[in-house]
Structure 1
Amino acid sequence: MTTTRNTAERLIKKYPNRRLYDTETSTYITLADVKQLVLDQEVFKVIDAKSSEDLTRSILLQIILEEESGGLPMFSSPMLSQIIRFYGHAMQGMMGTYLEKNIQVFMDIQNKLADQSKNLNEGRTMNPEAWSQFMNMQAPMMQGMMTSYIEQSKNMFVQMQEQMQTQTRSMFGGFPFPPGMPRNPEPGKK
């Protein structure tokens, strides 16, 4: 199942017997097939066959659970505990956006490295010495990208804090704030 297309959303129905039915291929598929759709960057939606409820997130979480259970897990127990603590917390929505943006920046860095390694390897075999030279050339660039990544991450966090402060002030505008605390500071100033 390695077709790549980016036109219409592919519809997968989940039946009460827990089977997944791909309406495009008119066949039953497995979670491994759904994982392959993700890897192939297919646009799809999983719905409950009876209620038409969107189950896409639930299926994706099942795939993550299977991946975490086998092999090397990506998430440590303390990290998962921290994520759980954000549910119901005032910053829950912002944390999701923060994580999503950080993952996107990380993917951008990964794509840049992949592009550069393709250019290096055109027309020749990659031996350990060539790889070592490539990595030595990449060190300054990687340092720059990581510095940029950290700076972007810090800026996103600062923006989240400012949004929380603005929301708090608007929610509690009728309450007196402590002396010296401005009621409506200019954006970017505290």
Structure 2
Amino acid sequence: MASPRRGVSADAADAGAPAGDGPRVLKKYPNRRLYDTQTSSYITLADVKQMVLAVESFEVRDAKTGEDLTRSILLQIILEEESGGVPMFSEQMLAQIIRFYGHSMQGMMGAYLEKNLQTFVELQKRLAGNATFTPEMWTQFLSGQAPGMQGLMSTYLEQSKNLFTQMQEQMTKAGTLFPGFPPAKR
């Protein structure tokens, strides 16, 4: 998400932000409206989604407190996407993710999922080359290239398994350095 700012609005100038530095700043007001300080206009979640798709760097700040709300806005976009069409996450997967909150492996699971997604995106880039594949093109590709795709997915799954194994080994080493870590199962 690294895209330089193209201009500075009055709000950004008031905050002392120099032109061209940092991510695009969106302000969230109590009326749930989002204000783009770069364009000096109100925007919608659909506009924020387009910024994500365009790989633009931005942050969402509470207009009163300055608190960073970027994650909550991104989660709101995911929620809308999940409820608006064909969901990406199954109920079982969501339940598993919830179970990791508060668990000693919470941080490790976040890193694991992030690395896994990164590996999948890299695989997608290798398959697509410089072409941008639409969802329909991916469906056609996957259905027509079953044997070749199986080999690529096997490689991806093997990398994922290796990453998880490495995480387990690190946890085991941490247990030898810090007795009682990770905590014993009850």
1:110 correspondence with 2:97: no
| Structure-1 separation of matches of 2:2 and 2:121 | 20
How big is the alpha-carbon RMSD for the aligned residues of Structure 1 and Structure 2?
A: 2.4
TM-score, structure 1 length as denominator? Answer: 0.74
1:148 correspondence with 2:145: no
Q: Which residue number corresponds to residue 157 of structure 1?
A: 164
1:98 correspondence with 2:98: no
| Structure-1 separation of matches of 2:178 and 2:76 | 38
Displacement of 1:135 in angstroms is: 7.4
Q: Which structure: larger Rg?
A: 1
**Percent identity over the alignment?**
65
Moved more, 96-105 or 59-68: 96-105
Match of 1:72 among 75, 86, 109: 86
Change (3 A) 1:99 1:72: same
Which 4+ stretches in 1 moved above 4 angstroms?
138-141
| Structure-2 separation of matches of 1:155 and 1:6 | 33
Amino acid at match of 2:101: Y
Residue aligned with 2:48, SS? helix
| Structure-1 separation of matches of 2:127 and 2:168 | 32
CA deviation profile, 1:70-126 (whole Å, cap 9, x unmatched): 11111111110000000011111111111111111111122222227x5xxxxxxxx
CA deviation profile, 1:132-172 (whole Å, cap 9, x unmatched): 8x976x55543332222111101110111011112222221
Match of 1:19 among 12, 29, 33: 33
Where structure 2 has 5 or more consecutive residues not aligned to the other structure, the ranges are 5-21, 132-139, 181-186
1:84 correspondence with 2:98: yes
| Structure-1 separation of matches of 2:128 and 2:45 | 28
Q: Which residue number corresponds to residue 18 of structure 2?
A: none
TM-score, structure 2 length as denominator? Answer: 0.76
Where structure 1 has 5 or more consecutive residues not aligned to the other structure, the ranges are 119-130, 174-190
